[in-house]
Amino acid sequence: MRLTWVSGDGRPQQVQYGAGKSAASQVATFAQKDMCSIPGLASPAKDFGWHDPGYIHSAVMTGLQPSQSYTYRYGSDSVGWSDTNKFRTPPAGGSDETSFVIYGDMGKAPLDSSVEHYIQPGSISVTKAVAKEIEMGKVDSIFHIGDISYATGFLVEWDFFLHLIKPLASQVSYMTAIGNHERDYAQSGSVYGTPDSGGECGVAYESYFRMPVVSKDKPWYSIEQGSVHFVVMSTEHDWSEKSEQYKWMNQDLSSVNRSRTPWVIFIGHRPMYSSYIGIPVNVDLSFVTSVEPLLLKYQVDLVFFGHVHNYERTCAVYKNNCKGMPKKDASGIDTYDNSNYTAPVHAIVGAGGFNLDKFPKIVLNKWSSSRVSEFGYARVHATRTDVLVQFVNSGTMEVRDQFRIVKRAPARKLQTVTIQE
């Protein structure tokens, strides 16, 4: 487990945890010169939005057991120590089950009447609800899949956001995917040339959220927890068939041991399917053409995206066509039977706090099975034979949509699917 904290002191500090264990911090920071800018395009990060981030400390705690609670504190004798906190490790990959919460597009809001850039009150509702889920012991990990703080070049707002999620990220692992508002800027290497990051170009994001990635500015990775193999991609970096990221996705998906992790969940920021009609359009057909065949080829079970600020679930879909439809189980829950695999189910979970996107009154997409435009998050529980997904309204904690994916056949090694145009 990696612990990250910010200090005004650049000397290495420590995290003390468990029964007398400790780990020294690695110290990093970033400077105004690291931000992106080009003539004629605004870059708050390199101009009036710049704020010194201080020193970002990161320490890896080793020798931990899965699904166990540990106390910890961080700091040093010279600068002082934090209060004692407690975190719980996620279940080991290959074990029987895991539970996680997933959302995208959060942002932040002040708790008082102060004014700041991009105030999003929905973020407070979601973080409070997820904190209750953690308190009830229902969360092994959190996945925040892009558009993290919406600082967009006003760098002090990262501090506000990190303070907002501290009650969550201090207790369970907080995994992230990069979004357009962390990475995109013209002539910076991002797929899309919009100025959505405000000149941050992923620098602040990668400094605060050190995921188990390949290397700097290659923010894609995979992890295993319980019965699930998670693949996390970057929709903001080159995903075309000859790109490094595509080759990595192909290799990672091909190496999954389904006897160890029966389920494969694929995560990114920009979606492949959305009924929301936005300007510009939210679905890049080039992205779909390049990456969607991998999902079918390697029998990905479930796909989570954000970017669109609502919740939407599809049928088992491929190339805009429903390959499989759910049936009601004895409890009336839509259930997809993946014992005879057809295609992945997609879910948009971009209702984490930023202004909601409304659906059109008439939706003609046959692949769209459920739509909710309310603030909330998905609560997921996966065993070796069953994945239950529930979209929860963060204000009421009411389940607004739920579905299951089941596999009644015994777990087996992966067999690829032949793709026919």
Percentage of the chain lying above the pLDDT 90 cut: 92
CATH superfamily, domain at 96-406: Metallo-dependent phosphatases (3.60.21.10)
H or E, element range at 169: helix 156-169
C-beta of residue 34 within 8 angstroms of C-beta of residue 97:
no
Looking at residue 409, what is its pLDDT? Answer: 54
The model's confidence at residue 369, banded by pLDDT at 50, 70 and 90, is: very high
User: In the predicted model, what is the mean pLDDT of the chain?
Assistant: 95
Mean pLDDT, range 198-221, rounded to an integer:
96
Q: What is the pLDDT of residues 276-327, one digit of tens each?
A: 988 677 899 999 999 999 999 999 999 999 999 999 999 999 999 999 999 9
Domain boundaries, the chain: 96-406
The model's confidence at residue 417, banded by pLDDT at 50, 70 and 90, is: very low
Looking at residue 119, what is its pLDDT? Answer: 85
202 has pLDDT over 90: yes
Looking at residue 343, what is its pLDDT? Answer: 99
320 CB-near residues (< 8 Å, 6+ apart): 273, 365, 367
421 has pLDDT over 90: no
385 has pLDDT over 70: yes
Q: What is the pLDDT of residues 397-411, one digit of tens each?
A: 999 999 999 998 554
Whether a cis peptide bond, with omega within 30° of 0, leads into 280 is yes
Bridge partners of 337, per DSSP, are 406
Looking at residue 113, what is its pLDDT? Answer: 76
Looking at residue 419, what is its pLDDT? Answer: 44
Q: What is the pLDDT of residues 230-254, one digit of tens each?
A: 999 999 999 999 999 999 999 999 9
With CA atoms as reference, report the closest residue to 99 among 64, 142, 153. 142
420 has pLDDT over 50: no
- How remote is the C-alpha of 310 from its chain's centroid? 15
Taking each helix axis as running N to C, give the angle between helix 285-297 and helix 244-254, from 0 to 180 degrees, rounded to the nearest 10: 20
φ, ψ of residue 247 to 5 degrees: the values are: -60, -40
Mean pLDDT, range 164-175, rounded to an integer:
98
Mean pLDDT, range 368-378, rounded to an integer:
98
pTM score, whole prediction: 0.95
Looking at residue 410, what is its pLDDT? Answer: 53
Q: What is the pLDDT of residues 56-97, one digit of tens each?
A: 999 999 999 999 999 999 999 999 999 999 999 999 999 999
The model's confidence at residue 115, banded by pLDDT at 50, 70 and 90, is: confident
